[in-house]
Amino acid sequence: MARPLTATVDLEAILQNYRYAKKLQPTCKAFAVVKSNAYGHGAVEVSRYLDEEVDAFAVAAIEEAVALREAGIVSPILLLEGVFEGEEWALCEKHGFWSALENAQQLDELQASHAKIEKIFLKLDSGMHRLGVDKETAPVFVAALKDSGQVGEVVLMTHFSCADDLSDLATMQQLAYFEQARQSIGDIEASVANSAAIMKWSVPEGGWIRPGIMLYGISPFAEVSGRAVGLRPAMTLSSKVISTRKLKQGDRVGYGLGYVAEEDHVLATVAVGYGDGYPRHAENGTPLQIDGKPACLAGRVSMDMITVRMQDFAAEPAMGQEVVLWGGDVPVEEVADYAGTIGYELVTRMTARPHYRYVRGEDSQ
């Protein structure tokens, strides 16, 4: 391996985080949400590791589900956005996929396809106003799905807009709306909770939870790290110092000369850039570690490189030293904050360019 940039993914951490989600909602079955390449961690590798244990997987769309089946995944797979074209229903039947259903076109196309689907997750728009039917329409859809004779079971599903904000009343309102819909339908399983709701809200007993970000050890809450909420961060992005130079006070660095040395110090150049998924908007001061010591970004992020300095100017960085961009003691949530985004975005924007290394527990690293 030439370029020393590695994303180390701890599969055991993901399994332990899945178990933690189930422990928090012990009456529920749980999806492992592996859409968007398992939030950048590698959907096939992650799903293979979890396949024997999970109740089911969830992805956004059918092509993600087919890729998992082709990789030998046998657990049920739910399409969270349902199908985009009527022909996909036949493929759902063929592969045994479960599907969300959220509009009349999907219902019509399902009926026209005559496909048999084991579980349909009917999406209720309980207030997010992005996908789903309202509470008056939901019972009509449930009846149509049952009457079609094509569907084994209908589950009522919704998604929260503000579950990560405990002070926002929207989640309570969405839950109340959901319960009204559920009562008007009668006996139906529920699926409402993403990571934030699993961790902090009281959600309906039984049914299905849908943990995503927490599986990867990343906090769904602003200003709190995954570790601080009992999770095991799964990804460590690390690289090496590939060049060093002495700066004089006032020297300026990188594109736009966006960093100015406050005093004489050694600057290190590290092999990682926005071409790998490291955020271009990360500001001077974004935390990282060099050789286990606190360091930070000093200069604008390039496509293939960043320039950095030690927090303590006296501790000089040296060629070949290990640099942790996130993971371990460098919370990805904090890096994201310096780049004006969230941990979700940093990991899902990882490119195929770093070397991906899969380990099973911290001992094997």
CA-to-CA distance for 137 and 273, rounded, in angstroms?
49
- Of the candidates 20, 22, 35, 123, the residue annotated as catalytic is 35
Extract the tokens encoding 24: 């928090």
Site string for ligand PLP, 40-79 (x = CB under 6 A): ----------------------------------------
Q: What is the DSSP string of 255-311?
A: GGG-EE-SSSEEEEEES--TTTT--TTPPTT-EEEETTEEEEE-S---SS-EEEEES
Closest CB to ligand PLP among residues 194, 269: 194
Closest CB to ligand PLP among residues 211, 217: 211
CB of 131 to ligand PLP, least distance (A): 8
Question: Which one among 28, 80, 324, 330 touches ligand PLP, defined by CB under 6 A?
Answer: 80
Question: Which one among 119, 182, 200, 210 touches ligand PLP, defined by CB under 6 A?
Answer: 210
Question: Which one among 24, 32, 33, 54 touches ligand PLP, defined by CB under 6 A?
Answer: 33
Closest CB to ligand PLP among residues 128, 144: 128
What's the number of CA atoms in the CB half-sphere (13 Å) around residue 60?
7
CA trace torsion 19, 22, 24, 25 (10° rounding): 180
CA-to-CA distance for 274 and 345, rounded, in angstroms?
13
3-state secondary structure (DSSP) of residue 183: helix
User: Residue 202 carries which side chain, given as an amino acid letter?
Assistant: S
Site string for ligand PLP, 141-160 (x = CB under 6 A): ------------------x-
Going by their DSSP bridges, the two strands 293-297 and 306-310 should be labelled as antiparallel
Mark out the alpha helices in the chain (DSSP H runs): 11-24, 35-40, 43-50, 62-70, 88-95, 104-113, 138-147, 170-185, 195-200, 332-338, 343-348
The stretch near ligand PLP (CB under 6 A) out of 136-144, 173-181, 193-201, 287-295 is: 193-201
| Neighbouring residues of 192: CB distance < 8 A, sequence distance ≥ 6 | 157, 158, 159, 160, 175, 178, 203, 204, 207
- Which residue minimizes CB distance to ligand PLP? 212
CB of 208 to ligand PLP, least distance (A): 10
Question: Which one among 4, 40, 204, 212 touches ligand PLP, defined by CB under 6 A?
Answer: 212
State the number of binding residues for ligand PLP (CB under 6 A): 12
- Is residue 255 flagged as an active site residue? yes
Give the residues across from 324 on adjacent strands: 238, 289
CB of 250 to ligand PLP, least distance (A): 45
Question: Which one among 113, 195, 238, 286 touches ligand PLP, defined by CB under 6 A?
Answer: 195
CB of 214 to ligand PLP, least distance (A): 6
- Of the candidates 94, 146, 246, 255, the residue annotated as catalytic is 255
CB of 211 to ligand PLP, least distance (A): 5
Closest CB to ligand PLP among residues 217, 279: 217
Asked if 330 and 321 count as a contact pair (C-beta separation under 8 A), the reply is no
Closest CB to ligand PLP among residues 9, 33: 33
Question: Which one among 99, 194, 236, 307 touches ligand PLP, defined by CB under 6 A?
Answer: 194
According to the binding rule CB under 6 A, does residue 253 interact with ligand PLP?
no
Q: Which of 170, 251, 220 is nearest to 343 (CA)?
A: 220
CB of 338 to ligand PLP, least distance (A): 21
Phi, psi of 227, rounded to the nearest 5 degrees: -60, -40
Closest CB to ligand PLP among residues 220, 273: 220
Q: What is the DSSP string of 72-96?
A: T--S-EEETT--SSTTHHHHHHHHT
CB of 300 to ligand PLP, least distance (A): 30
Give the catalytic positions in this structure. 35, 255
Which parts of this chain interact with ligand PLP (CB under 6 A)?
33, 80, 159, 194-196, 210-214, 220
